Amino acid sequence: MRRDQGFTLIELMIVVAIIAIIASIAIPNLLSARLTANETAAISTLRNLASSQSQLQASGAIDVDGDGAGEYGFFGELSGGVSLRGTTSTVNPPVLSAAFRAINNGVVTRSGYNFAIYLPDDAGVGVAEEATGGAPTGNDWDAAADFCETTWCAYAWPINRGNSGNRCFFVNQQGDTLACQNRIALYTTGTAPNPDAAFVAGGSPNQITGLVAANSTGNDGEAWVVVQ
């Protein structure tokens, strides 16, 4: 006599329960791995940016005041996407990948993180990049040239906090990358760090020529520590 083979309801329920248990363990681990990978990539990008800024400044490609001392640049200038300040030419060869030419509202997005560069005006206050890249035309870059020869900073913060990343990162001309846990400011898309967020409190609002909050509390109330 032929007997039909198959699973009983209890067996199917056991299989479903096992799959649910495995998923409950695996999914959080996958999310954690993605967060870690994105944060590691953000740190690497900022370190690469610091090297690129040093290269651009040393080349003297931007010298708005014509004093022979090079100045730092924005993403659009570093990547060759827009003309260098004070010229009609682009940097050749670019010191940053062409991927950094994709600038939206002054921000570059890569691997789950937003990136923004600030250069100082003639009072040392951080100026954000033009919406589509490069130096904003409304700023007096000739008056700011001396500051731009010595100062710049950049931040990286998660596109979706808790999903694409948690921590926020910072770097400037000193080369040290700083990180905060981002539990107070809650930086995410739509909530970007102010130019002076990672600087020691006490200076003028949004000024980026003061001391950075390395292993101390910044203007935003976050504890900024040096990334080893």
For residue range 119-153, list pLDDT tens digits in order. Answer: 999 999 999 999 999 999 989 999 999 999 999 99
pLDDT at position 3 over 60: no
Confidence (pTM): 0.87
Is 21 inside any structural domain?
no
Q: Please, which pLDDT band fits residue 224 given cuts at 50, 70 and 90?
A: very high
Is 138 inside any structural domain?
yes
DSSP 68-106: S------HHHHTTSSPPTTSSS--SS-SS-GGGG--BTT
What's the token pair of residue 201? 């409190």
Is 6 inside any structural domain?
no
Is 12 inside any structural domain?
no
Range of the domain at 129: 26-226
What are the tens digits of pLDDT across the range 67-86? Answer: 999 999 999 999 999 999 99
Q: Please, which pLDDT band fits residue 8 given cuts at 50, 70 and 90?
A: confident
Is 107 inside any structural domain?
yes
Is 16 inside any structural domain?
no
What are the tens digits of pLDDT across the range 89-121? Answer: 999 999 999 999 999 999 999 999 999 999 999
Q: Which of 66, 116, 113, 59 is nearest to 86 (CA)?
A: 66
Q: What proportions of the chain, in percent to the nearest 5, are helix, strand and coil?
A: 30, 20, 50
Alpha-carbon Rg of the chain, whole angstroms?
Answer: 23
High-pLDDT (> 90) share of the chain, %: 82
- 180 by DSSP, 3-state: which? strand
Burial class (CB in 10 A: 0-12, 13-18, 19+), 17: exposed
User: Rounded distance, CA 124 to CA 104, Å?
Assistant: 24
What are the tens digits of pLDDT across the range 160-209? Answer: 999 999 999 999 999 999 999 999 999 999 999 999 999 998 878 999 99
What pLDDT was estimated at residue 2? 55
Tally of domains in the chain? 1
Is 10 inside any structural domain?
no
Is 196 inside any structural domain?
yes
What pLDDT was estimated at residue 28? 64
What pLDDT was estimated at residue 204? 86
